[in-house]
Amino acid sequence: MSFVSNSPLSGTANTGRLTALRMPATVALSFAIIAIILAWSLAPQFFTTYSPVVGVPADKFLGPSFSHWFGTDHLGRDLYARVVYGTASSVSSALVAVVIGVLFGGLIGLLAGFLGGWVDVVLARLVDVLLSIPKFLLAVIVVTAIGFETINAAIATGVSAVAFFARVTRSEVIKTRQATFVEASYLSGGSRWYILLRHVLPNASRSVLPLAVLQFGESILIIASLAFLGYGDPPPASDWGLLISIGKDYLKWPWLVYAPAFVTIVTVLSVNRISRWLRKTD
Amino acid sequence: MSNAYLTYAAKRLGQAVVVILLAYVFTFVVVSILPGDPITSVLRNPQNGFSEQEIAEIIAAQGLDKPVPVQLWNALSGFLTGDLGMSMRSNRPVSTLIAEVLPSTLILAGAGLAVALVLAMLVAYGTRFVPKKYGQGLLRGFPSLFLSVPNFVIGLVLIHLFGFQLGLFRVINPDSFWATLFAAVALGIPVSAQIAEVLIANLDKEAEQEYATVARSRGIGQLKLFIRHLLKPASLPVVTVIALTIGELLGGSLITETVFGRTGVGSLVQRSVSTQDLPVLQAIVSLGAVVFVLVNLIADLLYPLLDPRVKILGGAKRRPTTTDEPSLGSAKAVNP
Amino acid sequence: MTDRSTLLSLSRRRLLLTASALTAAALVATTGLEPTLAADSPKEGGDITFLIDSLGDTWIPNNSAISSFQGHIWGHVTDKLLYVDAEGKVSPWLVERWAQNDNATEFTLHLKQGVTFSDGEPLDSKAVVANLDIWYAGRKNEGINPIGLFPKTYDRAEAVDAATVKVFFKKPTLGFLPTLGYHGSILTSPKSIAQPASVQADLSKTAGSGPYVVESWKEGDHVTLVKRKDYNWGPAAVGHTGPAFLDTITYKLVSEPSLRVASVQSGQADVAYNASPQELKSLKDEGFTVATPRYLGFVNGWAVNTKLPPYDDVKVRQALQAGINRQEIIDTVYTPDWHLATSFIQSNVPGATDQSALLAYDPAKAEKLLDEAGWVKGANGIRTKDGKELSLTLHSNPYLATSKSVDELIAQQLGRIGWKVVIRAYDVVTYGEKVKFGGAAVPTYEVTRSFIDAGTVAGILTNANNGENWFALDDRDTKINDLRDKIAGAGSIEERSPLLNDLQKYVLDQGYFIPRTQIVQRIYVQAPTLKGEVYNGVAYASYYTAFIAD
């Protein structure tokens, strides 16, 4: 709703641009957190000296301490190292999900909105079908069909987001197409593809970007939930959702759940904050 | 209701039927991609000691070796005549299975929705009445926080705090009042975030608008103003969001039921998925589609009643928020 | 106690069947009575709740009796013809006496009289014939499977009179009698057997003759059993034949292991099934009863696919055998309640011999063997030969909860001597489809399997008579086939034992089977007040003799 209420037409748009330059502290913090998360996923070896795979079996279930920030797990592996090394897979799988959702959803929405007619009707039914199945149920069914792995969980999550992005893109495209400047461009003889690339696509993508960022956070959670139900990579993978899922079997040692859960929550919170800020400033 | 509206309603109903059938076929195709079924997996349990030849014989006797289109046709024709078929896993009628688990899920989803509404209202009221310096900003951050916590983590924390530490409920009796309440909290928190976001955004918008200021100058009390002029118009989009969160509630029950050990549609899905029990999955997906379509239809009908400003113009104008607008931008469902 | 003499004389007739019938009977007479004699006198009444991770899929008796989960319920609702205890000893139950012809193709079973099913039907010879027939054949087109482990050599059964059944086989079938005490062979009422599959799938509609009957059940939720007051035909071997002591037993599904344990700890339930091994020590310290009964069968380990390079090389297989630190597995993943593997069959199986020397952890030897086999350690620590990495793909067994953890630990151990280990974990359905003995991409198949009699082992390992050909040897290894034939033809335990010893030594020395640990597939954590339960040969807990002590 706030997407509508914050549309550029509202009177607050101009002041919004000004505040954009002065980034709120929480947004800055969010960017800092995301920067750390990205660094973890790109170069985990700089952040920990422990191996995420090989542990010291005698050191199992140590509590958090200076030598093991998040404690150790049931095989004596450093949990902080497991979290850091699991970041790449957690982040990239969420990215895959977003890309699938945005690309396929965007394409469907673009075609439906721009071409209209029977194409629109057929695609609308397809989107309706995807929408009518509860998203998480859809993800579970898809991941079952293609196999229990993190990448497949990412694909399933992406598929479950296709309908949403298709709808958003379609309505954005229709809105832009009806805008006066596009009408004018038609009248002045611009080709369909030129108009699509020059006017429709940029406008649509501007509204889709914050939603894609939001979807990124959501995908992390859905993939974690799928991992929690057992639809993730086999060991010794250490995606955050898998870590929480493994940790729940050892609730006597609560840090095994709380540490990866904390990292997940903070990451998603940061992503959501950034998405909100993007929508406000756009 | 005008004639045009009825035509429009009939058309939508037709579309709904098509969607449900397509959802049925979609599930069949997706689940059929992978070889494997409950019967074979039981036969292949190494403890059973069946030889490959015996397995092949039993599979053939069950008609599972038939080509996929034939199986689809058999299933679909049964579905169209109201026969949901037999569960391959448990050898019991699918309708019996669903009837067994449905009440529990309806109670959980209903309680979850109630919790979500109450929470959302509290947060939204809060942003109106709590002054900026006493943490209004914090309240405004709540929906974002609620959306960022995986609901299985909420569930695990609740169980350990209230179930085991405080002994408020017995984990082995998940249908008791307290156990249901806490399951509803775990399920409701992410959903409340979506509703709260919409409420807050609309309260802000309405508050800016003229008639609110006019009303205030007339000297109406804060609470009355809030209810009469702010909450009622702001509740319109909320009806829409609730309609859309039904799906989230059903999807969320999958995890919440697992965490709290409830026996419901969610746990039935999980058991059916893990054994690829196609007939059960198809029935549940179709059922979900029916619920989704119905709830949205009801929301469509409710909308003009709540806001006289929304007129049905020749049936073309619907409630402005669900089907065509990208309005769920901020209120997007994050947790499954 | 008058049973003792008959038991003894009966056992002599069938010397071939179990390890040593004489000691068996003596042991039954002494240790068999232990559960009730050891504790204070049993108290009548009481209700218990047993938390279980699943209640399995279908309740059609034939399809579910061997399930790790439903077996618990069937064990209380139904009886069997013979009893097999935790040491593999066979003793009378509903069959009081039996006889067989010389070449084990005809058996005569004499039934206990006055036994009834809970639907009022008598458990007579006709009922037994109906059960034998459905175990052997099932009704495949209806979805009622045969019992996979029932002898395929079955020909027919005849009711001689109301209390006598004669069973005929096409070929000698020594394994028939132990099969009758196995978890698949549960007796249900002929009326229930005649019902279609969809009715059989409703647990409350199946009638057995056991000490408990089903009071209520809900799929995926619970099964509540209530005591049958007129029951008085329990197996003599457990020392009690009258009605059960506990009034009700509720099996309640709680899928999270930590929640099951926490519920028992907080007094909300009495038994937690399949607890995480890691929690057992602290539970014991808190005074809870922890039971880790072993079933009779193979140890947990790998059957190596000898067709798949590099595992066609005996040196690589032997390096694998020496490269695993089995003690570390027990120390890390398990507790001292688990036993080191001493052979590829569990040490409580009659006929198992101690081959520990072949299973010692010796990384230096493993490295030397790999060097000799031409696998050279590269810069990254992984060995290569002809440009190929020394790799091992493990498929974690979905039927054993700790399998993944053990795989991870072994991956670390083998990693140190230059192996590249990849772990794959499938769900039960996919696993059944993709992972098979000797499969093209399956270098090692993880075994968890109970069996009835050590004499059948050799047949399972090789390809003879529809054997399972575990090592994909086909007919290439004449020595193992030779041993198999000799074991099958052995006329007595004395003759068979040294052959079994040779087989165990040979299979382990060749690295065909790589044991990990002795298997405990069923772990029970129990409230200290609950006493007197009995574990049978497949490690199921029976609460027939259990009671709540004050």
The model's pLDDT over B88-134, given as tens digits with 9 standing for 90+, comes to 888 889 999 999 999 999 999 999 999 998 998 888 878 877 777 77
Q: Which residue of C has its CA nearest to A253?
A: C279
- For testing contact with chain C, the best of B32, B42, B169 (most C CBs within 10 A): B42
Residues 6+ apart with CB under 8 A from C152: C466
Q: Dmax over Cα atoms in chain A, in whole Å?
A: 77
Instruction: Give the torsion through C-alpha atoms of C468, C471, C472, C473, to 10 deg.
Output: -110
Q: How far, in Å, CA of C178 to CA of C84, rounded? A: 7
Q: Look at A2-6, A271-275, C44-48 and tell me which has the smallest mean pLDDT.
A: A2-6
- DSSP codes joined into one string, C316-368: HHHHHHHS--HHHHHHHTS-TTS-B-SSSB-TTSTT----GGGG---HHHHHH
**Is B39:B286 a contact under the CB 8 Å cutoff?**
no
Query: What pLDDT, on the 0 to 100 scale, is given for residue B7?
Result: 76
Q: Count CA within 13 A, CB hemisphere, residue A94.
A: 30
Residue C500: partners with Cβ closer than 8 Å, 6 or more residues away: C351, C353, C454, C455, C457, C487
pLDDT of residue B305: 62
Å between C371 CA and nearest CA of chain B: 36
Residue C349 backbone phi and psi in degrees, to 5: -75, 130
Least Cα separation, residue A82 to chain C (angstroms): 14
Among C257, C396, C405, select the one facing A74 at the smallest CB separation.
C405
Question: Which among C116, C218, C118 has a CA at the least distance from the CA of C162?
Answer: C116
A57, A61, A249: residue with CB nearest C328: A57
User: What number of C-beta contacts closer than 8 Å exist between A and B?
Assistant: 190
Averaged pLDDT score across all residues of chain B: 76
Number of CB atoms found within 10 A of residue C360's CB: 12
Arithmetic mean of pLDDT, B270-283: 84
Distance from CA of C520 to the nearest CA of A (A): 18
Interface residue B152 vs chain C (CB under 8 A): no
Distance (Å, whole) CA C425 – CA C404: 8
Q: Among residues C372, C270, C350, which one has the least CA distance to residue C17? A: C350
ipTM (interface predicted TM): 0.81
Q: Rounded CA gap, C71 and C65, in Å?
A: 5
Q: How far B218 CA lies from chain A's nearest CA (Å)? A: 26
Asked if A1 lies within 8 A of B281 by C-beta distance, the reply is: no
CB contact under 8 A, C408 and A251: no
DSSP letter string over A87-134? HHHHHHHHHHHHHHHHHHHHHHHHHHHHH-HHHHHHHHHHHHHHHHS-
**Which residues are CB-contacts of B310 (< 8 A; sequence separation ≥ 6)?**
B236, B303, B304, B317, B319, B320
Q: Would the CA dihedral through B291, B293, B297, B300 be positive or negative?
A: positive
Q: With residue C101 as reference, give the H or E element that holds it.
A: none
Nearest CB to B336; choose among A170, A174, A222: A222
Contacts of residues B26-29 at CB distance under 8 Å and 24 or more positions apart, as own/partner, are B26/A129, B26/A133, B26/B285, B27/A133, B27/A141, B27/B278, B27/B281, B27/B282, B27/B285, B27/B286, B28/B72, B28/B75, B28/B76, B28/B278, B28/B282, B29/B72
Q: How many Å apart are CA B326 and CA A187, to the nearest integer?
A: 28
State how far the alpha carbon of A243 is from the alpha carbons of A42, A52, A86, A90, A263, in Å: 19, 12, 9, 11, 11
Touching C: B residues 67-86, CB under 8 Å:
86
DSSP SS3 for A16 = helix
- Compute the average pLDDT of residues A81-109: 94
CB contact under 8 A, C282 and A252: yes
Distance set, CA A110 to CA A8, A107, A130, C307 (Å): 21, 5, 17, 54
Residue B50 forms contact with A (CB below 8 Å): no
Smallest Cα–Cα separation from B201: which of B255, B281, B128? B128
Contacts of A139 in chain B (CB under 8 A): 336
| pLDDT, mean of residues B28-48 | 72
The verdict on a CB contact (< 8 Å) between A133 and B285 is yes
Chain C contact for B48 (CB, 8 A cutoff): yes
- At C28 the pLDDT is 40
Q: Do C219 and B97 touch (CB under 8 A)?
A: yes
Question: For residue B49, which residues of chain C lie inside 8 Å, CB to CB?
Answer: 148-149
Cross-chain residue pair C423–A235, CB shorter than 8 Å: yes
Q: Which residues of A touch B33 (CB under 8 A)?
A: 145-146
Q: Which of C549, C550, C544 is nearest to C77 (CA)?
A: C544
The residue to which tokens 């009964």 are assigned: C293
Give the C-alpha separation, C84 to C235, whole Å. Answer: 10
Task: Please give the radius of gyration of chain A, using alpha carbons only, rounded to the nearest integer.
Answer: 22
Instruction: Give the 3-state secondary structure of residue A144.
Output: helix
Tokens representing residue C312 in the block: 């066609």
- Whole-number pLDDT of residue C484: 85
H/E stretch holding C418: none
Return the structure tokens found at B211. Answer: 């008639």
C-alpha span between B334 and B147 (Å, rounded): 6
Per 3-state DSSP, what percentage of chain A is helix, strand, and coil (rounded to 5)?
75, 0, 25
* Lowest mean pLDDT segment, chosen from A211-220, B213-222, C89-98, C365-374: B213-222
Tell me the nearest-neighbour CA distance from B79 into chain C, angstroms. Answer: 19
In angstroms, how far is CA B126 from the centroid of its own chain?
Answer: 27
Peptide bond into C196 cis (omega under 30): no
β-bridge partners, C154? C169
* Structural contact between residues C195 and B86, judged by C-beta atoms closer than 8 angstroms: no
Q: Is A197 exposed, middle or buried (0-12, 13-18, 19+ CB in 10 A)?
A: exposed
Range 161-200 of C in CB contact (< 8 A) with B = 197-198, 200
Q: Which chain B residue has the Cα nearest residue A262?
A: B149
Comparing CA positions, the residue from C205, C184, C208 lying closest to residue C77 is: C208
Q: What is the pLDDT of residue A3?
A: 33
| Interchain pair B171, C262: CB under 8 A | yes
Instruction: Catalogue the long-range contacts made by A43-46 (C-beta closer than 8 Å, 24 or more residues apart).
Output: A44/A81, A44/A84, A44/A85, A44/A87, A44/A88
Q: Which helix (H) or strand (E) holds C391?
A: strand C391-396
3-state class (DSSP) for residue A81: helix
Asked if B62 lies within 8 A of C57 by C-beta distance, the reply is no
Q: For every one of its 550 residues, what pLDDT tens digit does chain C have, with 9 covering 90 and above?
A: 333 333 333 333 343 333 333 333 434 444 444 444 444 578 899 999 999 988 888 899 988 877 778 889 999 999 999 998 888 788 999 999 999 888 888 999 999 999 999 999 999 999 999 999 999 998 988 889 888 778 888 999 999 999 999 999 987 777 788 889 888 899 999 999 999 998 999 999 999 999 999 999 998 889 999 999 999 999 999 999 999 999 999 999 988 888 889 889 888 899 999 888 888 988 999 999 999 998 888 999 999 999 998 999 999 999 999 999 999 999 999 999 999 999 999 998 888 999 999 999 999 999 999 999 999 998 888 999 998 999 999 999 888 888 989 999 999 999 999 999 999 888 777 787 788 888 888 999 998 888 877 777 877 888 776 677 889 888 888 899 899 888 877 767 778 889 999 999 999 999 999 999 999 988 999 999 999 999 988 889 999 999 998 7
Q: Neighbouring chains of B at 3+ CB pairs within 8 Å?
A: A, C
